[in-house]
């Protein structure tokens, strides 16, 4: 876990599968293909990626990591995640977020306001669980008990916007790109706890590796020393060994994924325990305040 918060995406969709209504919502909006792409991460590679990210604008950045060059754009993120491009938006658009929050709740639904947002456990089911997934995959906040204003922009679309054309939907790839840039800036400032989106970074690097003139596997790239360069590998990689590499990649991936899935299960149990502990503390604080009154 990075610092005091877990900002890595999940490595499987097991918890989603346990909630049929949640699964149905994400399937209806074609998000499951996106979630299923997250099968692992590497902390060291994620650090190098964030440190090397150079933004040129809100819609273009370049990354040079171990000799691999990536031109980062919302279009690239859309292609590798299968999420459509739509209307660009930012978490700082507070006015739109407040409107979305008001539209989201139906008559009779009474959420509990927190100083920072809405307590997630007071959202009607299945939206409390949908909110949890959005925090895990989209915002990577590392805090799971509160749904912030900007989350409601996505929740409102998921609840009522199933017929919305793709070009009129929220541009999630654009949002993810802004988040990668923000995370990179904070990591460069020395705030290592802000390192996030380890899974998305892996997806982007794997895509770039497969599009090289001579493709290189993730496991080979991951095992390179940090200061090494993939160009040195192009003389060693040939079609005659590609099957062996593919087999080794499959074996390495399975071992890594088994370990990460176990860590993910433990992390989610810890998340839930910490959330319950936080809610109990909030209840105790409220009781103490009423007693003082």
267: Cβ contacts below 8 Å, ≥ 6 apart = 1, 6
140: Cβ contacts below 8 Å, ≥ 6 apart = 7, 8, 9, 179, 196, 197
User: What pLDDT score was predicted for residue 58?
Assistant: 94
Tokens of 154: 């996505």
Domain ranges of the chain: 14-292
User: What pLDDT score was predicted for residue 1?
Assistant: 42
Tokens of 53: 């990210």
Q: Which of 193, 111, 178, 191 is nearest to 139 (CA)?
A: 178
Q: What is the reported pTM?
A: 0.84
User: What pLDDT score was predicted for residue 32?
Assistant: 97
User: What pLDDT score was predicted for residue 5?
Assistant: 75
User: What pLDDT score was predicted for residue 268?
Assistant: 65
**pLDDT (tens place) for every residue of the chain, 293 residues total:** 444 578 999 999 999 999 999 999 999 999 999 999 999 999 999 999 999 999 999 999 999 999 999 999 999 999 999 999 999 998 888 899 999 999 999 999 999 998 889 999 999 999 999 999 999 999 998 889 999 999 999 999 999 999 999 999 999 999 999 999 999 999 999 998 899 999 999 999 999 999 998 899 999 999 888 776 787 665 444 444 455 655 666 666 555 656 666 666 666 666 666 555 554 554 454 444 444 44
Q: State residue 69 phi and psi, 5-degree precision.
A: -105, 130
DSSP the chain: --TTS--SPPS--HHHHT-HHHHHHHHHTT-HHHHTT-----HHHHHHHHHH-EEEETTEEEEEETTEEEEE-HHHHHHHH-PPP-B---TT-HHHHHHHHHHHSPTT--PPB-SSSEEGGGSPTTHHHHHHHHIIIII--S--SEE-HHHHHHHHHHHH-TT--GGGSB-HHHHHHHHHHHHHHHHHTT-GGG---HHHHHHHHHHHHHTSSS---HHHHHTS-TT--GGGGTTT--GGGHHHHHHHHHHHHHHHHHHHHHHHHHHHHHHHHHHHHHHHHHHHHHHHHHHH-
User: What pLDDT score was predicted for residue 82?
Assistant: 95
Alpha-carbon dihedral sign for residues 57, 134, 183, 98: positive
């Amino acid at each position: 876990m990075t610092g005091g918060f877990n900002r890595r995406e999940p490595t499987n969709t097991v918890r989603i599968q346990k909630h049929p209504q949640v699964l149905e919502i994400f399937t209806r909006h074609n998000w499951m293909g996106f979630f299923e792409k997250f099968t692992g991460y590497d902390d060291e590679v994620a650090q190098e990626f964030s440190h090397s990210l150079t933004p040129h604008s809100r819609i273009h950045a370049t990354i040079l990591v171990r000799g691999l060059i990536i031109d980062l754009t919302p279009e690239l993120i859309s292609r590798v995640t299968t999420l459509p491009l739509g209307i660009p938006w930012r978490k700082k658009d507070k006015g739109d977020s407040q409107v979305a929050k008001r539209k989201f709740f139906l008559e009779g639904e009474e959420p509990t306001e927190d100083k920072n947002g809405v307590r997630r456990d007071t959202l009607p089911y299945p939206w409390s669980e949908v909110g949890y997934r959005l925090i895990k995959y989209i915002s990577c906040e590392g805090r799971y008990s509160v749904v912030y204003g900007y989350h409601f922009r996505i929740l409102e679309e998921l609840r009522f916007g199933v017929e919305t054309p793709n070009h009129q939907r929220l541009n999630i790839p654009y949002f993810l790109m802004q988040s990668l840039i923000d995370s990179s800036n904070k990591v460069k400032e020395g705030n290592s706890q802000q390192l996030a989106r380890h899974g998305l970074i892996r997806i982007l690097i794997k895509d770039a590796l497969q599009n090289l003139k001579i493709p290189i596997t993730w496991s080979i790239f991951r095992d390179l020393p940090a200061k090494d360069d993939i160009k040195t590998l192009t003389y060693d990689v040939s079609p005659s060994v590609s099957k062996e590499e593919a087999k080794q990649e499959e074996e390495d991936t399975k071992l890594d994924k088994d370990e990460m899935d176990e860590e993910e299960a433990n992390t989610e149990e810890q998340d839930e325990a910490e959330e319950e502990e936080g809610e109990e503390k909030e209840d105790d604080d409220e009781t103490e305040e009423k007693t003082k009154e």
